[in-house]
Structure 1
Amino acid sequence: MTERAAPSTPARSARVNGLNRLLMRLLKIAIISTLLFMLAAEMISSGPKTRPPMVSAVAWVQWAVSMFAIGVYIWYRPGRKRWIAAAALASLAATGLDVLVDQGTRGVGTAELFALLLLMLFAVRHWDAPPGRWVAIAVGAALSVLGIRLFAPEYEGAQVGGIVLILMAMSTVIGFGAYFRSLDKLRRETQEEVRQAERLELAREMHDFVAHHVTGMVVLAQAAQVTSTDPKKAFADIEEAGLAALTSMRRMVKMLRNDDSGAGTNPLGDLAQIEDLVDRFNREGTDTTCFISPELAGNVAPEIAATAHRIVREALTNVRKHARGATRVRVVVAAASGQGLEVSVRDDGRAARGRLAESGGGMGLLGLGERIEAVGGQLRAQPRPEGGWETAAWLPRAAAETA
């Protein structure tokens, strides 16, 4: 259903999404800056009796591997798991080189360690994505042995304790990755369930539209038989009705077949049933009035009438759920310019806050917008300057064929 709470309004939702993107970008910049600073500090740091790693050629190889791992984190996108695998294999090779060549200095890899932990999060979250699950296993192996070059072997138990700490951190990251993966899976399953339910309902109601057009064709044919109508005109009218039926059928079949159609393609209801919606809503205790322009009767395509009914139904449900203190609701379905009509639902309530406002699921506004765009219309949902909320849409009287 459409949401009126802050996250669901087009303008405010855009601001919230923009703020979230900005915060995520700033967080990523902070992480990258920290990793680079950590890597630079590793290269130049030294103890009382040890030289800095920058004097060793092996350390520069490890520096390059760390920079590569950081770069993979910077430019990683879903579907680029091969680069994660490359970073893990490079880390394993750098650790093997450290074991084979005694460089006489402490190894470099703390920044690489944190970068690989972040990449492990992505690898687990996109567990089933190509090139396969072995990528996460490779990253785990690289992290497990990384402690060999980070902790001095001369201190008894230092490497063992360090590896244990790394394994604990890795298990935490794996847990977060699995949690995010379960959220992604739940979201996909929920969307698919909504789409499947909408398609089934659309399939059940398709015969109503087909019957409407076919009945019109039959009436035209019967009228031509009993009147002195010009046969050419009668055939032209029948042809026009047939083309309208084919267009309507093609549009609905496209909705049924489109995997990305989203929610909200339910074609139930017509203009005559809008008053029933308003009456039921009025009986629930809110002063609700309705006006439907008489000139629209019989001059609106079935898909458009069903879409107008859906707009009113969703908007009234939205008022009931989110409009605190609403005392008046005005529903208007009137003729508009450009051979169209405007459907509007306005109230004087205030936006709800808390769990009730957040319980809409985030699908309503998207689904309603897609339904309206599918017939060539435009949706507007926004706060009113004088207070309250407005859900309005311009619709053509005859549905436009979508590309």
Structure 2
Amino acid sequence: MTSTSAVRSMHGRFNRLLMRLLKIGIVGTLLLMLAAETFSSSADDRPPMVSWLSWVQVAVSLFVIGVYVWYRPGRKRWIAAAAVASLAMTGLDMVYDQGVRGVGTAELFALGLLMLFAVRHWDAPPGRWVAFATGTAVMLIGFRLFDEELESAAVGGTVLIFMTMTTVIGFGAYLRSMDKLRRETQEEVRQAERLELAREMHDFVAHHVTGMVVLAQAAQVTNTDPKKAFADIEEAGLAALTSMRRMVKMLRNDAEGAGTNPLGDLAQIEDLVERFSREGTDATCFISPELAGNTVAPEIAATAHRVVREALTNVRKHARGATRVRVVVAAASGNGLEVSVRDDGRAARGKLSDSGGGMGLLGLGERIEAVGGQLRAQARPEGGWETAAWLPRESAVPAE
């Protein structure tokens, strides 16, 4: 799992570096294009640099390129400023004809890139009119670039600009749809996580509160020292609070929770069994040494912890007269592990649903199947009940 995280981090850094180099290349090309357009000329024409208006156009082009360089999502107002500046510059060029070729090719390309952002962030403030203003600026910039005397060249250039802008708009709309799909997917993942956390919260509460109820009932029918009974109930309550804090830390992504799996792991199974044993039932736990370390994926360890927790909760609720519970987590064939919880109690009278049971095993089975495992819950021939699960050591669901 650690190597996978390292690969993801390296892949992310490589993508960021690639995008940065691509942006540097685009900006460098635009600046070279602007310089060549400003200082170059044909045999019959003067270079644009001889006109003061051309230097104003250069300044506007640099401003538009700068907006592209420093644009970030949420700064759409700068796109609006670039579009308005370009439109004003085109109007000024139409009023003051200096008799030289206008400057604006680099500005045209930069506006096209800003058009992509304006369409992609269509609903961002200050509004959708920014995309229309940018498109208008792109279409009207041809008055600066094309000689009015060459009508065919002007028409052809305008058509080319229109086709290019249409392509940019289409690509921007595609990116916008992908952003929307990504947000919807993230929301679905968050909803699934919230449902999973709700199930986990229910299991934590059911496990610990059931323990406190059992202790309180035992204190009423036995000659237990009241101080000891209250101390046991207090300890069970503190354990419940600890579990709740772990869950809250995960919800808040608190750095203090780092290093502890709030949903449980193999190391926490021993603590779970030990607390169960202190509540009046002889419970022992064995975890195979070869499962120590990082040989089991975190989600598999959390699932194993949940199997034990659900089984112990069911022992409290439904196993009448249970005196012994054995919990074993051992390596199994097929690069897997087996979690088993066996008791020597008798089944409760009546339907399981009458005492509030049944749904826990159903949810547990769904979770085990989701990671590629199998659940078995059945009565033992020699008496008692067995809850066992085979789990792979690595999740069957590939990491994204």
TM over 0.5: yes
The percent of aligned pairs where both chains have the same amino acid is 67
1:60 corresponds in structure 2 to: 55
1:160 corresponds in structure 2 to: 155
Normalized against structure 1, the TM-score is what? 0.64
- How far apart in 2 are the matches of 1:43 and 1:289? 70
1:193 corresponds in structure 2 to: 188
Higher relative contact order (CA 8 A, sep 6+): 1
Q: 2:40·2:47 contact (CA, 8 Å) conserved in 1?
A: yes
Tell me whether 1:132 sits opposite 2:179 in the alignment: no
- 1:78/1:346 CA distance change after superposition, 3 Å: closer
- 1:26/1:85 CA distance change after superposition, 3 Å: same
- How far apart in 2 are the matches of 1:195 and 1:220? 37
* Unmatched tracts of structure 1, length 5 or more: 259-263, 295-308, 318-342, 348-356, 363-403
- How far apart in 2 are the matches of 1:226 and 1:51? 108
2:393 corresponds in structure 1 to: 345
Q: 1:110·1:150 contact (CA, 8 Å) conserved in 2?
A: yes
Of the structure 1 ranges 217-226 and 41-50, higher mean CA displacement relative to structure 2 is found in: 217-226
- How far apart in 1 are the matches of 2:57 and 2:40? 15
Report the alpha carbon displacement of residue 252 of structure 1 after superposing the two structures with TM: 4.9
Which digits, 9 at most, give the CA deviation of each residue in 1:17-57, with x for residues without a partner? 22222221111111010000000011101122221111111
Q: 1:81·1:129 contact (CA, 8 Å) conserved in 2?
A: yes
Tell me whether 1:123 sits opposite 2:118 in the alignment: yes
Q: 1:217·1:238 contact (CA, 8 Å) conserved in 2?
A: yes
- 2:45 is paired with a residue whose SS is coil
Report the alpha carbon displacement of residue 194 of structure 1 after superposing the two structures with TM: 2.3
Tell me whether 1:33 sits opposite 2:80 in the alignment: no
Which digits, 9 at most, give the CA deviation of each residue in 1:112-134, with x for residues without a partner? 00000001111111111111111
Tell me whether 1:290 sits opposite 2:337 in the alignment: yes
Q: 1:124·1:181 contact (CA, 8 Å) conserved in 2?
A: yes
Report the alpha carbon displacement of residue 278 of structure 1 after superposing the two structures with TM: 8.3
- How far apart in 2 are the matches of 1:43 and 1:275? 80
Report the alpha carbon displacement of residue 167 of structure 1 after superposing the two structures with TM: 0.8
- 1:311/1:95 CA distance change after superposition, 3 Å: same
Q: Which amino acid aligns with 1:290?
A: L
- How far apart in 2 are the matches of 1:51 and 1:209? 82
Report the alpha carbon displacement of residue 237 of structure 1 after superposing the two structures with TM: 3.2
Alignment of 1:211-360 (within 5 A): 211-227=206-222, 229-249=224-244, 252=247, 270-272=306-308, 287-290=334-337, 345=393, 360=398
- Structure 2 residue aligned with 1:10, among 5, 8, 15? 5
- 2:335 is paired with a residue whose SS is strand
- 1:361/1:65 CA distance change after superposition, 3 Å: farther
Q: 2:329·2:339 contact (CA, 8 Å) conserved in 1?
A: no
Normalized against structure 2, the TM-score is what? 0.64
1:48 corresponds in structure 2 to: 43
- How far apart in 1 are the matches of 2:44 and 2:170? 40
- How far apart in 1 are the matches of 2:399 and 2:8? 14
- How far apart in 2 are the matches of 1:275 and 1:310? 21
Report the alpha carbon displacement of residue 250 of structure 1 after superposing the two structures with TM: 6.2
- How far apart in 2 are the matches of 1:233 and 1:241? 12
**RMSD across aligned positions (CA):** 4.0
Q: Which amino acid aligns with 1:83?
A: W
Point out the structure with max Rg over C-alpha. Answer: 2
Q: 1:146·1:163 contact (CA, 8 Å) conserved in 2?
A: no
Q: Which amino acid aligns with 1:183?
A: M
- How far apart in 2 are the matches of 1:135 and 1:55? 33
Report the alpha carbon displacement of residue 199 of structure 1 after superposing the two structures with TM: 2.2
1:297 corresponds in structure 2 to: none
Report the alpha carbon displacement of residue 316 of structure 1 after superposing the two structures with TM: 5.7
- 2:34 is paired with a residue whose SS is helix
Tell me whether 1:174 sits opposite 2:222 in the alignment: no
1:401 corresponds in structure 2 to: none
- 2:115 is paired with a residue whose SS is helix
Tell me whether 1:93 sits opposite 2:88 in the alignment: yes
Q: Which amino acid aligns with 1:98?
A: D
